[in-house]
Structure 1
Amino acid sequence: MCAICGILNFDLAKPVDAALIRRMTRVLSHRGPDDEGFYIRSGVGLGHRRLSVIDLDSGQQPIFNEDRSAVIVFNGEVYNYQELATELEAAGHSFETRSDTETILHAYEDYGESCVDRLRGMFAFAIWDARERRLFIARDRLGKKPLYYYAGRDFFAFASEIKALLEIPEVPREVDPDSLDLYLSLRYVPGPRTMFKNVYCLQPGHLMVVDRSGIRTQRPYWDIEFPAAGEEDREQPARQRMEEFRNLLSESVRLRMIAEVPLGVFLSGGLDSTAILAQATALRGPGERMKTFSIGYDGPGTEGADELEYARIAARAFHAAHHEYKLKASEFEAFVPDLVWHLDEPMADASCIPLYYISKLAREHITVVLSGEGADEILAGYAIYRRMLTLERVRRGVPGIAAIAPLLARLAPGDKLGRYLLDSAKPIERRYQSVDRGPGFEGKRKLIGDDRAWKSELQLRAIFDSYFSRVAHASTLNKMLYVDAKVWLPDDLLNKADKMTMANGLELRVPFLDHQLVEFAANLPESAKIAGGNGKALLRESMKGFLPEAILKRPKKGFPVPLSPWLRGPLRPFVRDRLCSPGSAFSNYMDGSGVVRLVEEHEAGIDRSQELWTLIVFESWERQFTRPALEREFAV
C-alpha cells in the first residue's frame, strides 16, 4: 500500500518542478512511511511513497520496464501477480523484482489498456509510456484505492489524495457550490465530483489516457452485470450454491493473506467480520493465533453503541489474540481537525473516527488488516433493502396508490406513518434517492434557499437516474444494490476505509469485494440474499456450524457511534462553538439562522445529530482547506 502522484506538462519541453513533485509526495508520507521515490524527466514527474508489504527488499518505486521506456507508480495490491508474472516470463519478460508493481508494467507492455482486465485486487496506478508519449492511469473495479486529478490549461496532475494536488499553486482552493449542496443531501460528495472546484476523482472501474493534447480517453473497463428480473440463477441446487460461495470466499481470504508483514482482522462481532476471522483462522492453521481488533465507547449514553461483548464471543471462539480500545467523547472531539485533513473533503460519516482509532490500535501490532466491508452491499444486508421491497409491493399491489397516498398521509397519526404512505406511492428510483440520507428537501430549503435546494434535487435525481437506467432490466433489489455499488460504496464506505487506515500506515483488505465474488453474488436469486426477514441469507446459511450461534442470530447493527447523546451532552459546547460562533463558515454558504435552529432543536430533544455532524465536518473542512490563515489546525 502506498501513495502516488504526478504531473504531465502538455509541452513536454517544459521541465516539471522537481521540488514540487517532492512536496506533493511528502504530504502523502502517512500513506507510505517506509520509503519514497521519484521519476523526473522533461515534461513529466512522478512521485511515490511506500508502505512495504510484499518484496520488502527490492520493491522500491518507480519501477521501469527492461529498456526503461516505461515507468510505473502504483498504490494497492494485485493478489494474482505471481500467476501473471509466470505468464509474462513465459512470454519473454525478465523481472528485476518480485513485486506486483513490475507485473502490472509488463502486463501493460503486452496487453495495453486491457491489462487491467487481468488484475485481481485493489489498485490505482500511473504508467508513463515514453515511447508513445502518453500517461496511462487506472483505478480498481470497485474503488478501494482512490485517485484524484486536475486538468489545467497546460498540465495534468494526479494524486492518491487531494492534498497533494493542492501543493500545486495553479490548483484553486475553491468550494464547488453544487458539490456542497449534494453533500448536504448525501453527507458525502458523489464522484466524479469533489468539494473542490475542477478537482475530480477517477471513477471506479475506469481508465484514462492523457497525452500532450490533454485527456484523450476516459472510459469504464468493467461493470457489475446483473441479470434481467426473473432470470437470476435459480436452477443451481442450494447446497451447490453454498459450497461455491464458501469456496470463493475462502479463496478471496487466502489471496488477501499474502503478505510479508504481520496481519490481523477488524472484529465487530457481527456476521461479516466473524466470517472473515473464521476463514482466516482455518487458512492459517493450528497454533497460529489471529490478531483481532475491536472498539467500544467510554462514558454515559454509549451503552447501546458498544459491540465489545459480541467481539469477545467471536474472538474466544477462534482463540484470537484480541485487542480492544474504548473511545471517549473528548478524543472524538479532538480528532475532528485531523479527520478532515485526512479525508481532504467533507464526509459526515461519524464512524470515520472510531475507524481511525481502531486502525491506530491495530498498527501497533500489524501492518495489514482484513475487514468485513462489502458483504452488506453484495448480499443485501441492510434493512433499507427489505423496507424498500415492502414499499414496492404496496405500490404495485394497491391500484391508484399514487393518487390517494397524499390524502392518507395527511390523515395518518404521526409523521413516520405519513412518510411511509407517501413513499409507497413513489417508484423505486424516486424513493431510493432520498431515503435515510441528509436533512431532506425541506431541511435543505431552510439552509440554502429554494433555488439551490431545487437545483440540487435535480442534480441528485440525474445522478441516481443515470445509474438506475443502466439496470432498468434488473429486479428492484438488484437495482438498489447496483446504485449503492456506484455511489455509497466508493464515495463513503471505501473512501473512509482507505483514508482512516492509511492515516495510520495500515493496509486494509476487503475479501467480500473480490470482483469474482461480486460477480457471483450479482447472479444470485433474491432468496439467497433475503430470507426469513434477514439479509445476507447465503452467508448466514454457509456459516452455520462454523460461527457461534450468538453471532449467527445477532441482528445487523452497522458501525454504531453514540453521536446523538454526545452532541447533546459532553460535546454540546463544541457544537455551539463550531456552528453558532460569529467566525463559523456558514455565513458564506448557507443561512446561519437555520443552522442555529438545528442546534436548538437537538438540545431540546429532537434528534438532529446527523444534520449537525454534517455541518460540523463541513465547517472544520472549510476552516482548514479554504482559509490560508487557518490552514492546518494541527501539526501533521
Structure 2
Amino acid sequence: EDSTVWVVENGEIYNHRELREQLIAAGHAFVTQSDTEVLVHGYEQWGEGMVERLNGMFAFAVLDRRRSVLFLARDRVGIKPLHYAIDGERLVFASELKALLQDRALRKGIDPVALDEYLTYEFVPSPRSIVRGISKLRPGHTLTWSLAERTATVRRYWEPSLNVDGAARDGDLDQECSELLSVLRESVRKELISDVPLGVFLSGGIDSSAVAAMMTQLGGEVKSFSVGFAEHSFDESGYAREVATHLGTDHHELTLEPAMLLGLIPKLSSLLDEPLGDASVIPTYLLSEFTRKHVKVALGGDGGDELFAGYPTLQAHRLAEYYMRAPRLLREGLVEPVVRRLPVSRGNLSFDFRAKRFVSGAAHPVAERHQRWMGSFATEERSALLSREVQHEAKVDAAGPDPLNQVLMMDMRLYLENDILVKLDRASMMASLEGRVPLLNNDFVAYATSLPLHMKLRGLRSKFLLKRALRGVLPDRILHRPKKGFGIPVAEWFRGPLKEQMLSV
C-alpha cells in the first residue's frame, strides 16, 4: 500500500482469488484484478513465507525497499525457469539464459562440469547452466539478496516426499480410484481459470487423455490438438482421434513433414538457451505454433509418468533383478552376444534399441543403471570424449546404489525438471502459447507422492491406480496401449529427405 514493495512475475498463480480474499479481510486494498498483485500484498502480509501458500507455476522477484532486499522464488517443481548470476557485488537475474548473456561481463565460457552433466543426462541439471558462473534457481527454492551487504541466501521451501515405506492407506481400491479422480478433476479445474480461450494437447496417451476427460466433465467445448507422422512407429494420431471422438472434443490435427524441420533449424538456437538432447522439442514447438492459431492457453499431461511410474525403465529395473539371477554363463555367453548382433532398426523405441540398452546397464547399481538407460554417454564414454582438463574439473563422486522407489525421485528431480518442463516452456513460449500442466498442480502432486509404490507399479503393470481409476472414462484400448514416447523419426529423415542438410553441418 505504501509503494515500497514491487514485483515482476513470469507465470500464473492459480489460487490467487482465495489469497486475495484472505488479504482483503486482513485490510489490504487491491487496485487490479491481476494474480500478480497477490504477490505484493502476500509478501507484505506473510513475508517470505508467502511463497509456501502459492499454488501455481511461477518465477518472480519482489523488491522490498523497506528491508533493502530482493526476493526471488521459483515454483515447486520447476515449471517456470529462473536464471541468476552473482557478479562481484551485483545480482543479475532473468527467466532466460540469453537475457543474462546480453551482459558481456557474464560471458565466461562453458562450465566443464555442466558439459559433463550434459553428456551424462542429455540436459544440464540445475543448479548449473552451460555457462560458467550462471546458475538456475532450483525448484522449490528462494533466494534473498541483501542490497546492503551484497550477499545471497538460498533456501528450500518445498521438496517432494515419496511414500517410500509403503505405508497402507485407508479404504479399498474403488475408494482410492474415486479420490484420485476427484483430486485430478479439481486440479484441472483450478488450471482452467483464464480470460482467454483454452485447449488441450492430446497425444492419445493416458495422461493427456485423462486431462482432456476432466476438461469435458467440467463443461464447455474443449478444443484438442495433436500431431501425426507418416512413419508408423512414431505416429499416435489415431489414438488421439479415438480419444477425441470418445470425449466429443473439437479436434485439430497437424501432420509433420521433414520440410517443416528445415524452416525450424535456424530458430533452434534462439528457442533453446543451452544444449538439450531431446528431439521432441521440435514437434512440441510445431504443435504449440499450430495450437496458438486457435487458443492462447493449452493444458497437457506432463508429469504423469514421473508421478505414476509410467516409464518403461521402471519395468526394466524390475526385470533386471530377475535377469541378474540367471547364470552368468547364460547371460554373457548367449543372451548378450545375441542382443549385440540384432540388426539396427530406425523405429521408435525398437526392440533392438531396448534390448541393447537393457543388457548394457542391467549389472550396474540402480542409480547408474538408470542413467545409462536414460542418457547417451556412460562414464567410460565420457572419459574418451572429454579432455583431461575438463575431466578434472567435472570429477564428482560416483553415485551409490539407490532403491527402486528412488528412481521416481530421480526422474522427477532430473528428467522432469530439466528436460520435459524446459522443452514445454521454451517451445510454447516461443509460439506465444501458455502451456499448463495440471498433473503438477500442488494438490495432485501431494496426492500422487503420498501413494506407495505398489499403487503405481504393481508387478510389471505401470500406472496401476491411474489406469484403474480411468476405467469407463477412457476407452479400454487407450488404457492398455503400449507407451510411445513423443519423438520424431530423426534417423529416417536424416537418411532420406534431410540427408543433404545433415551432411552439410
Same fold (TM over 0.5): yes
Say if 2:168 is the partner of 1:247: no
Residues 359-381 of structure 1: CA distance to partner in whole angstroms, max 9, x if unpaired?
Answer: 00111110110000000000000
Partners of 1:571 and 1:499 lie apart in 2 by 24
- Describe the shift of the 1:444–1:529 C-alpha distance in structure 2 as closer, same or farther (beyond 3 A): same
> What residue is the counterpart of 2:160 in the other structure?
224
Aligned residue among 270, 295, 301 for 2:227? 295
Residues 243-271 of structure 1: CA distance to partner in whole angstroms, max 9, x if unpaired?
Answer: 11111100000001000100000011111
Partners of 2:16 and 2:314 lie apart in 1 by 37
Q: How does 1:35-46 map to 2 (within 5 A)?
A: none
- Describe the shift of the 1:239–1:128 C-alpha distance in structure 2 as closer, same or farther (beyond 3 A): same
> What residue is the counterpart of 2:375 in the other structure?
437
Q: How does 1:206-225 map to 2 (within 5 A)?
A: 206-212=141-147, 213-225=149-161
SS, match of residue 265 in structure 1: strand
Partners of 2:111 and 2:308 lie apart in 1 by 35
> For the Cα contact (< 8 Å) 1:409–1:421, is it kept in 2?
no
Q: How does 1:84-103 map to 2 (within 5 A)?
A: 84-103=19-38
Aligned residue among 305, 308, 321 for 2:250? 321
SS, match of residue 99 in structure 1: coil
Say if 2:405 is the partner of 1:478: yes
Query: By how many angstroms is 1:337 displaced?
Result: 2.8
> For the Cα contact (< 8 Å) 1:151–1:214, is it kept in 2?
no
> For the Cα contact (< 8 Å) 1:192–1:200, is it kept in 2?
yes
Partners of 2:469 and 2:502 lie apart in 1 by 45
Say if 2:470 is the partner of 1:543: yes
Query: By how many angstroms is 1:235 displaced?
Result: 4.2
Aligned residue among 59, 67, 72 for 1:137? 72
Q: How does 1:353-372 map to 2 (within 5 A)?
A: 353-372=282-301
Aligned residue among 49, 57, 62 for 1:127? 62
> What residue is the counterpart of 1:409 in the other structure?
332
> What residue is the counterpart of 1:304 in the other structure?
233
> What residue is the counterpart of 1:610 in the other structure?
none
> For the Cα contact (< 8 Å) 1:368–1:507, is it kept in 2?
yes
SS, match of residue 214 in structure 2: helix
SS, match of residue 156 in structure 1: strand
> What residue is the counterpart of 2:214 in the other structure?
279
One-letter identity of the residue aligned with 1:437: G
- Describe the shift of the 1:405–1:333 C-alpha distance in structure 2 as closer, same or farther (beyond 3 A): farther
SS, match of residue 197 in structure 1: coil
Partners of 1:420 and 1:501 lie apart in 2 by 34
One-letter identity of the residue aligned with 2:210: A
- Describe the shift of the 1:452–1:168 C-alpha distance in structure 2 as closer, same or farther (beyond 3 A): closer
> What residue is the counterpart of 1:336 in the other structure?
265
Say if 2:308 is the partner of 1:379: yes
Gaps of 5+ in 1: 1-65, 579-636
One-letter identity of the residue aligned with 1:485: M
SS, match of residue 374 in structure 2: coil
Say if 2:122 is the partner of 1:187: yes
Query: By how many angstroms is 1:175 displaced?
Result: 1.7
One-letter identity of the residue aligned with 1:252: S
Query: By how many angstroms is 1:433 displaced?
Result: 2.8
> What residue is the counterpart of 1:447 in the other structure?
385
> For the Cα contact (< 8 Å) 2:86–2:92, is it kept in 1?
yes
SS, match of residue 364 in structure 2: coil
> What residue is the counterpart of 1:58 in the other structure?
none
Residues 58-80 of structure 1: CA distance to partner in whole angstroms, max 9, x if unpaired?
Answer: xxxxxxxx100100001111111
Query: By how many angstroms is 1:420 displaced?
Result: 4.8
> For the Cα contact (< 8 Å) 1:135–1:211, is it kept in 2?
yes
User: Which moves more between the two structures, 506-515 or 565-574?
Assistant: 565-574
- Describe the shift of the 1:207–1:183 C-alpha distance in structure 2 as closer, same or farther (beyond 3 A): same
> What residue is the counterpart of 2:421 in the other structure?
494
Residues 126-174 of structure 1: CA distance to partner in whole angstroms, max 9, x if unpaired?
Answer: 0000001110000000000000011101311100111111112211151
One-letter identity of the residue aligned with 2:211: I
> For the Cα contact (< 8 Å) 2:223–2:249, is it kept in 1?
yes
> For the Cα contact (< 8 Å) 1:405–1:422, is it kept in 2?
no
Partners of 1:405 and 1:68 lie apart in 2 by 72
Q: How does 1:568-587 map to 2 (within 5 A)?
A: 568-578=495-505
Aligned residue among 251, 272, 276 for 1:347? 276
SS, match of residue 196 in structure 1: coil
Partners of 1:408 and 1:454 lie apart in 2 by 35
Residues 150-206 of structure 1: CA distance to partner in whole angstroms, max 9, x if unpaired?
Answer: 110131110011111111221115122222222122111111111111111100000
One-letter identity of the residue aligned with 2:498: L
> For the Cα contact (< 8 Å) 2:199–2:297, is it kept in 1?
yes
Partners of 2:316 and 2:237 lie apart in 1 by 28
Partners of 2:83 and 2:95 lie apart in 1 by 6
Aligned residue among 102, 106, 118 for 1:167? 102
Asked which structure has the greater RCO (Cα within 8 Å, sep 6+), the reply is 2
Partners of 1:129 and 1:421 lie apart in 2 by 56
Partners of 2:183 and 2:410 lie apart in 1 by 24
Aligned residue among 406, 421, 426 for 2:364? 426
Partners of 2:292 and 2:358 lie apart in 1 by 45
Aligned residue among 528, 533, 548 for 2:460? 533
> For the Cα contact (< 8 Å) 2:8–2:61, is it kept in 1?
yes
- Describe the shift of the 1:516–1:233 C-alpha distance in structure 2 as closer, same or farther (beyond 3 A): farther
- Describe the shift of the 1:276–1:202 C-alpha distance in structure 2 as closer, same or farther (beyond 3 A): same
Number of matched pairs: 489
Query: By how many angstroms is 1:237 displaced?
Result: 1.6
Partners of 1:408 and 1:539 lie apart in 2 by 35
> For the Cα contact (< 8 Å) 1:409–1:422, is it kept in 2?
no
Partners of 1:428 and 1:74 lie apart in 2 by 39
Partners of 1:363 and 1:534 lie apart in 2 by 36
One-letter identity of the residue aligned with 1:344: D
Aligned structure 1 segments of 4 or more residues deviating by more than 6 angstroms: none
Query: By how many angstroms is 1:538 displaced?
Result: 1.2
Partners of 1:555 and 1:129 lie apart in 2 by 52
Compute the TM-score of the two structures, normalised by the length of structure 1: 0.73
Aligned residue among 31, 47, 50 for 1:112? 47
> For the Cα contact (< 8 Å) 1:253–1:279, is it kept in 2?
yes
> For the Cα contact (< 8 Å) 1:359–1:501, is it kept in 2?
yes
> For the Cα contact (< 8 Å) 1:72–1:128, is it kept in 2?
yes
> For the Cα contact (< 8 Å) 1:187–1:349, is it kept in 2?
yes
> What residue is the counterpart of 1:48 in the other structure?
none
> For the Cα contact (< 8 Å) 2:164–2:453, is it kept in 1?
no
Say if 2:77 is the partner of 1:77: no
Partners of 2:174 and 2:249 lie apart in 1 by 30
One-letter identity of the residue aligned with 1:436: M
User: Which moves more between the two structures, 440-449 or 143-152?
Assistant: 440-449
Compute the TM-score of the two structures, normalised by the length of structure 2: 0.91
> For the Cα contact (< 8 Å) 1:233–1:523, is it kept in 2?
no
> What residue is the counterpart of 1:150 in the other structure?
85
Residues 90-114 of structure 1: CA distance to partner in whole angstroms, max 9, x if unpaired?
Answer: 1111111112111121111111111
User: Which moves more between the two structures, 289-298 or 487-496?
Assistant: 289-298
Percentage of pairs with the same residue: 39
SS, match of residue 104 in structure 2: coil
Partners of 2:216 and 2:184 lie apart in 1 by 13
- Describe the shift of the 1:239–1:407 C-alpha distance in structure 2 as closer, same or farther (beyond 3 A): closer
One-letter identity of the residue aligned with 1:414: V
> What residue is the counterpart of 1:514 in the other structure?
441
- Describe the shift of the 1:118–1:405 C-alpha distance in structure 2 as closer, same or farther (beyond 3 A): farther
> For the Cα contact (< 8 Å) 1:124–1:139, is it kept in 2?
yes
> What residue is the counterpart of 1:622 in the other structure?
none
